[in-house]
Structure formats: structure tokens, C-alpha cells
Chain A
Amino acid sequence: MVNWQYLESIESREILNIRSKYTNYIGGKFIEPNSKKYIETISPSTEEVLSKIAISNQNDVNKAVKAARSGFEIWSNLAPYERSKYLFKLARLIQERSREFAVLESLDGGKPIKESRDFDIPQVAANFFYFAGWADKIDLSWSTKGLKPHGVVGQIIPWNFPLLMLAWKVAPALATGNTVVLKPAETTSLTALLFAEICDQAGLPNGVVNIITGDGTTGSLIVNHKDINKIAFTGSTQVGKLIQKSLAGREVGLTLELGGKAANIVYEDAAIDQAVEGVVNGIFFNQGHVCCAGSRLLIQESVHDQFISKLEKRMQALRVGNPLDKNTDIGAINSKEQLNKITNLVDEGVADGGNIFQTECELPGNGFWFKPTLFTDVQPSYSIAREEIFGPVLTTLTFRTPDEAVEIANNTEYGLSAGVWTEKGSKILWTADRLEAGVVWANTFNKFDPASPFGGYKESGFGREGGRHGLLSYLKESS
């Protein structure tokens, strides 16, 4: 037998020109934070310090909101067709600098280069293209009366798909005539700041896009600012509830895209090999840092043993390591904090009595890593079956009948997404109708498209992003 030796294929970092520190982008200018405070931002795969980002205070938020307010006067009065052209221009510029974005995203956030290069950044461009075309067709979008923009929108986004979440927020907000104050997550701010350069390059009017960095405190300053008309938040259900509470009694629009604990239902008549592939993609895509991840595998009892054995074999083939290696399937966990959270929940799963399987692989010495993990013999009451782990950890439950599968799938306060695997069309439609989830993937998982609305039922939030439905998140009826 030939003893194949593994050869790395590392994406070059030469394309990047990371500055030693980044300031806020307000009113079309990069300006020092009033706070004078900066924190280091590191690469989670090596713990190497990449740069410094600003921690914005009340004065910085005030400045950004003020700039967005003046920007709104210009932007909302621009001919819709001119707004459309700006968005097309942004889309093109993103395409042109896509490799730079991809490398920076993987370096700063830890995700494999093949995902940032082939999924995140192409989707970012696609979102700007999609909403560019809507900008001058708002009147055709819904047969409701007099839709108009909210005004200044505060947008707070997470660290799992940094630039893609920016695109999901900024593109529809701008297309509908709003202006934005966006705060990226403090561990992954660099691509948003590179996007600010692109706004400059596109000649976007000052104040239309404002990007300020900081942690949760900065986020809450945006939420509580008196001159904000709408908040759009993607993140944990816990923080989402706090935001909803802060906005109580105030006339501020709100959309929330929160956590999930998606069931991925595998019926006995599924194409098993295809389902194994889909289940792996469903949970291990982006290290499992995905709000709609298929983290609860529901297998029909009759195929359980066969499925698990194939699944373990497939998991063993996953390559964990350097995000910039083009062969890497699973990159670094985004932060030490997240790694601790995953570790604690997994320890709890073991203590509860779950049967754990982890792949055999060598993890790099520095950085934050977690082996692909599968739990079997799990009871629905275990925390690993109820709480969002947001890591490469899959828990397995079994069922006997379709009714039972639906009942288990819906037995959660979340309702973001779900998966169904069967070769029987009628069973797909029957199941999809009964699942309380905003997105149902049948014989596929984790597919996204700017034309396809995304968002949750129940405690997974409200409002949709993407598609015709996504426009409504940024429009209100004129009274």
C-alpha cells in the first residue's frame, strides 16, 4: 500500500494589507474613537495579534447616529434608481476584492478558506446584487399601501459569518432607503472595516453606511440611542430578549434573528449515504457556529445503527486544522470564550450519561480547537439536546413514527430551521407542513440564497432576511 503523505496547500496572506489599528468609519471618514480605547483582535487559529480595533463609547455612537441621520436626508431623497446603481457598484467591488475578503475572513474568524472563498464572499456579492435590483421596485414588492423606510437603522451582527451577516443587513436596508449604523462582533470586525473602504471606493454618500466597533456595551448604546428608528439584531436568544425588553414602550422597529436547535429528521426510507453527507454538512459547516445548524439528529429507530456507523466513518474523514489550508474542512473555534462554552456543554453531556464519539485527529498547539463530536444515547431532557451549543457537536435522538418525529422536532422553544430526509415526496410535504421552523431543508441542508427568506418561529426571533419577504423588515407603512 502506498503511504500517502499529507501535503498542505496554504492560501497566501500576501494579498492582505492589515493596518496596525482600525478606527471607526463615520460619515464617510475613518476617525479615532472618542473613547481612545482599543482592543487587540487575534486570529483564533494561532492566537497571533492581527490588529487593534476601537471600543466605541456613547460619544462615538452619537456621532455615528448623527452622521446616519444626515446621510438619510440625502439617501432617502435620491432617485431609487440611483440607489440601485450604488448597490450594483458595491456588489462589483466586493467581487473584485473577493480573495482579499476571503483570506481576511478566515484569518480573523477561523473558518476554512474553502468556505469563505466559495460560500461567504460569493454570497455577500450575491446579496448586494439581489437587493440592488429591488431598490427601484419597492412599489411592486407588496400590495400594501405606501411603504417607506424606517430611517436610521442600528444593526448588530454576530461573529459566525461576519461579512455575510453584514451583507444580509446592509443590502436590504440600503435598497429600501434606510441608512445604517452597523456594529460587527468584537472578535471579527476586520472584514466589516475592509467593507468600509469599499463604501469609500464606491463613492457612497457620506453617512449612508457607518461602521463602529466595540463589544456588547457599544451594542447596547446603539439599541438605547434616542434617534434610532429600527434595530436589526442577529445573535443569541438571550441577548435578543434583552434588546426586545430595552425597546419596550418605544416606537422603534425591531427584527431579531436568534438561536436555534434544529432537528434534522432522517426517515428509514431516506437515501442513507446522501443523508449522512447532509447531516455532516448540517452540523460541521463553519465549525457548527451556525444558528440554523442541524444540531439534533433525529433518526428513525430501524436505521439508527447503520446510520451511526456510516456517520462516524464519514466524520473521521473530516480534516481539522489551519483555516488557510485549502483542504481544511473544520477550522478554529472563533474564540476562547466559545471554546469554553462548547467544552462545558459537552462535559455536561458526558456527565448526564450521553455516549460520546470524537474523531481521532491531531489538533494544532496554539489557537482554539474542538474535535468533531457525536453523542448517542441522549435523552431529550439533556442540556446537549436542548441548548444551542454553537460548535461541532451533534446529538442524536431516535423516533418510531412520523408523528413522534414532528413532536420531538417541535419540542423546543426555538424554531429557526429543520431538515427532513426521505425519498417519499408526500412524507416530505407532510413533515414540512408540521415543523415549526422558518426554513425547512428537504434532502439538503444549510442552503442559502439572497432570494430565499430566512428567519425564525417562536424564540428564534421575528422578521425575515432575504427575498421579497426580507424587504418588509426595512419598511413601514406610512400613516
Chain B
Amino acid sequence: MIEIKKTYKNYVGGKYVRSESGKTYTKELKNEFYELPLTSKKDIRDAVTSSKDGYKKWSSTTPYLRMQILYRLSEMIEGNKESYVELLMHHGLTKQKANKDIDESIQNIVWFAGLADKWEQLAGNLNPVSEEYFNISHQNPIGVVFSLSGSNLSLNELLMSILPALTVGCSVISYSEENSVVALKFAEDINNSDFPSGSLNILSGKFENILDDVSKHVEINLVALHKELDNNGLKSIEENASESVKRVFSQPSIEGLSSILPYLETKTVWHPKGT
């Protein structure tokens, strides 16, 4: 029997799409060649349009429901565990390492699912102002996040570049270069987990092609780089970002509460007390 090989596509606005440029790049993994979408400037623009719409839907989803959708994602991965392990092993990981990666992935999704309805209590508070006012600081998600994933073949690393922003209600454009086969496979489980379309878009390609387009796009509110770039790359991103006071985080913490802080805007509301 001839084995059927999957065609990997970008995942934008809840649909699997090829790059509008028609271009692909070849990734060789363990004697197999994959033709992966080579994301263009126009693809980025489409993804941002979709993410803006996804942000509106996802950020207005109740924390209770966001928690359940994230939990459903862990159910999906658990169900497809074997296929992930196989994919990783195909690409050179030992069975033990592959299993560990997927187990950690599931554990992290469950951890963030449970945080979806709690982070506001951890990051916000009432402020004891010295006059007769009610004063509270709470948070809004920052908006559309572009996240560059790391270069290791790993579902867990990919997830840790997405989950903190997604959990607090941001929409995420996740971009992978080396890890793209895993990322584009992961899109299928996102698609099956009731995430509103556009809340998470998954793209593959060469980051250097779109570095300027991403960092200059004024509707991307934050750029998170989970991969070490050479100093010139980082410098151009940060220079471009300054034109719209865009937030840039290079290798932000993925630990506990620190992991979500970059994606939050603190809003403080005052109201007088009186009779």
C-alpha cells in the first residue's frame, strides 16, 4: 500500500490555507521532505485581520468558557497522543523524549486552562486610596500578539509560546520556522477545540522574510520572540516597533504568573463613594 503523506497548510481564520504567494519552503526531516507554506507579507496582513476579529470574540468569551475550551484542547491532544509521539520520533526524538514532550504539553494546557478564570485575581487588586473613592486595578488582554516559536522540535515549546497570551484573552499569530510541522499539525487540534476563528492563527515560513512586516504592522500590539535572534534582527524589530510604541519581549519568562504579565494592560477605575 502506498502511504499517504499529509499536505501541511497555514491555519488562518479557522481555515487551512496555502500562502497566497504560492511559495513553499522544503523541510527535510528524517529523509522525508515537507513542502511548507512560505508565509508572505500579504499572508501576515490576512492573519492580522483575522486575529483582530478573533481577538474581539475570544476576549469577550467568558473566563469559564475559555477555561473549558483550553481544557478541550488537552482532551484533543490526549486523544491524538500517539500520532504526535510518532511524528516526533519520525523526526529523530527517542520514544521516551517524545512521550515526555507530549505529557508535558498536556499538563501545561491543563495548568493554563485552570488559570483562565483566576489570573485577574492574581494580577489585580483594590487600591487603598486615601480619599472616599472606590479604586480597582484590573486587566485587559493587550490584543493581537505575534509569537515566534523556538527552533526545537517540540509541541511543549510551541505551546509555551502560545498559551500564556491565549489564556488571558489575547489572539495569537504563532509563527514557526524549524518547528512548523508540529505547529501545523497542532492546528488540527485547535480546529477541533471550539476556539473562535482567528483567536489562534498558525503560520510557517522564514522569519527573516516577514520580520519587517510584523514589527511595522501597527495592528500587532505585541511581539514575543521565543527564539534567540542575532542582535541585528532584534535591533531592527525593536526599532520598527518604536514607531507605534509596540511592546517587544525577547525570550519572555514562561514561568507561572510571570508568563502572563507581558500580555496584560492594567486598567485602574475610580469612583467616588457617597450618599
Contacts and interface: CB of A to CB of B under 8 A. Distances in A.
B272 A440 contact: no
Given A144-B256, A144-B257, A249-B231, A458 B131 contact: no
Main SS at interface, chain B: mixed
Nearest to A429: B269
A329 B135 CA distance: 27
Interface size class on chain A is 35 or more
A457 B272 contact: no
A468 B125 contact: yes
A438 B266 contact: yes
B135 A440 contact: no
B245 A244 contact: yes
A462 B245 contact: yes
Nearest to B221: A458
A432 B269 contact: yes
A244 B268 contact: no
B96 interface: no
B137 interface: yes
Interface in B96-155: 122, 125, 127-131, 133, 135, 137, 140
Given A240-B245, A428-B271, A438-B268, A249 B235 contact: yes
A92 B241 CA distance: 42
A437 B272 contact: no
B255 interface: yes
Interface string B255-275: 111100100011111111000
Contacts of A442: 269-271
A477 B268 CA distance: 24
A42 B127 CA distance: 39
A249 B234 CA distance: 5
A430 interface: no
B265 A249 contact: no
B177 interface: no
Contact of A244 (B231, B241, B272): B241
Contacts, number: 125
Contact of A241 (B140, B243, B247, B270): B243
Nearest to B264: A469
B188 interface: no
Interface in A162-207: none
Interface size class on chain B is 35 or more
B253 interface: yes
Which of B130, B135, B265, B272 is packed against the most chain A CB atoms within 10 Å?
A: B265
Which of B236, B244, B257, B269 is packed against the most chain A CB atoms within 10 Å?
A: B269
Nearest to B241: A244
B268 A453 contact: yes
A441 B256 CA distance: 32
B245 A452 contact: no
B63 to A, nearest CB: 14
A453 B137 contact: yes
A443 B266 contact: no
Interface in A413-453: 413, 428, 432, 435-444, 447, 449, 451-453
Interface in B225-250: 231-232, 234-239, 241-245, 247
Given A144-B258, A453-B137, A469-B137, A444 B272 contact: yes
Nearest to B265: A457
A10 B7 CA distance: 82
Which of A436, A457, A472 is packed against the most chain B CB atoms within 10 Å?
A: A457
B238 A248 contact: yes
Contacts of B265: 438, 457
15 contacts: A143-B257, A144-B256, A145-B256, A247-B238, A248-B234, A248-B242, A436-B140, A438-B265, A438-B266, A438-B267, A439-B269, A444-B270, A452-B129, A454-B268, A469-B137
Given A244-B245, A442-B270, 13 more contacts: A241-B243, A244-B242, A249-B239, A432-B269, A440-B268, A444-B133, A451-B127, A451-B128, A452-B270, A453-B137, A455-B266, A458-B245, A464-B266
Closest 4 CB pairs of A and B: A249-B235, A248-B238, A244-B242, A449-B129
